[in-house]
Amino acid sequence: MDIWIPSEIGYVVSHRYRHFPPPCHYPVFERITGGGTVILSPSTLIVDVVVSSTHKDNTLQSVVEALNHTVGKRTFYIGKEWPDILHRPTHKKIGGTSFYHRKNITFISMSILLRRDIINIIERCLPYPDKAPLHRKNRSHKEFLISLEEITLFSLRDLVYTLISSLKSPLSYLPPT
């Protein structure tokens, strides 16, 4: 497990989209996982976990529970057709996921929007996605995304501690090789 915050703004693209022409002048990083292009910044928290493929959904739920604990109520949920982390009252996206499957192991990378400024950068620098889940409802990035700071006052330290605690459970252990 790795929980980290990027030190600079940059595009992260799937290997399938490595010829993506960025409209803004930020570095482009390639990832092995699937999913579309994202922009990361010091306003995003990244949670990377390697789990047994049978525990993928439990791991996502653990992150949702850690966010709920941070807010103090059951506010977040996972989208049904697309594994976005959504804010219940607004049905806006606070986090995204990407996966890489290899045999019986899954690498999961989740990005959580901490501060509003990243949403403005995403709105300016990312085109509307080619494929979008129904829960997006054709909303622009600015209308569809929400940051944790817009929902509640939070302690980054407490959030990270809660994530570490929830992801240390047996569900995150790898199967024997």
Given this model, what pLDDT does residue 172 score?
44
Please give the residue that has the higher pLDDT: either 114 or 62.
114
Q: Please write the tens of the pLDDT for every residue from 81-124.
A: 788 899 999 999 999 888 888 888 888 889 999 999 999 999 99
Which tokens sit at 89? 């009252």
Let me know if residue 177 belongs to a domain.
no
Q: What is the pTM of this model?
A: 0.88
Please give the residue that has the higher pLDDT: either 169 or 125.
125
Domain count for the chain, please give it: 1
Q: Is the dihedral of CA 119, 67, 83, 9 positive or negative?
A: positive
Distances (CA, A) of 50 to 15, 46, 97, 138, 172: 19, 13, 13, 32, 7
CA distance 103 to 95: 26
| Region for 28 from its dihedrals, namely left if φ exceeds 0, alpha if ψ lies in -120 to 50, beta otherwise | beta
Question: Is residue 149 within 8 Å of 100, Cβ to Cβ?
Answer: no
Mean pLDDT within 1-23: 77
Let me know if residue 81 belongs to a domain.
yes
Let me know if residue 143 belongs to a domain.
yes
Q: Please write the tens of the pLDDT for every residue from 118-145.
A: 999 999 988 888 888 889 999 999 999 9
Given this model, what pLDDT does residue 174 score?
45
Q: What is the CATH number of the domain that holds 135?
A: 3.30.930.10
Mean pLDDT within 141-158: 94
Specify which residues 2 forms β-bridges with: 48
To the nearest 5 percent, what fractions of the chain are helix, strand and coil? 30, 30, 40
Let me know if residue 59 belongs to a domain.
yes
Helix axes 56-71, 156-167, angle to 10 degrees: 150
Let me know if residue 73 belongs to a domain.
yes
Domain residue limits at 25: 2-172
Given this model, what pLDDT does residue 136 score?
92
Mean pLDDT within 143-169: 90
Mean pLDDT within 62-67: 89
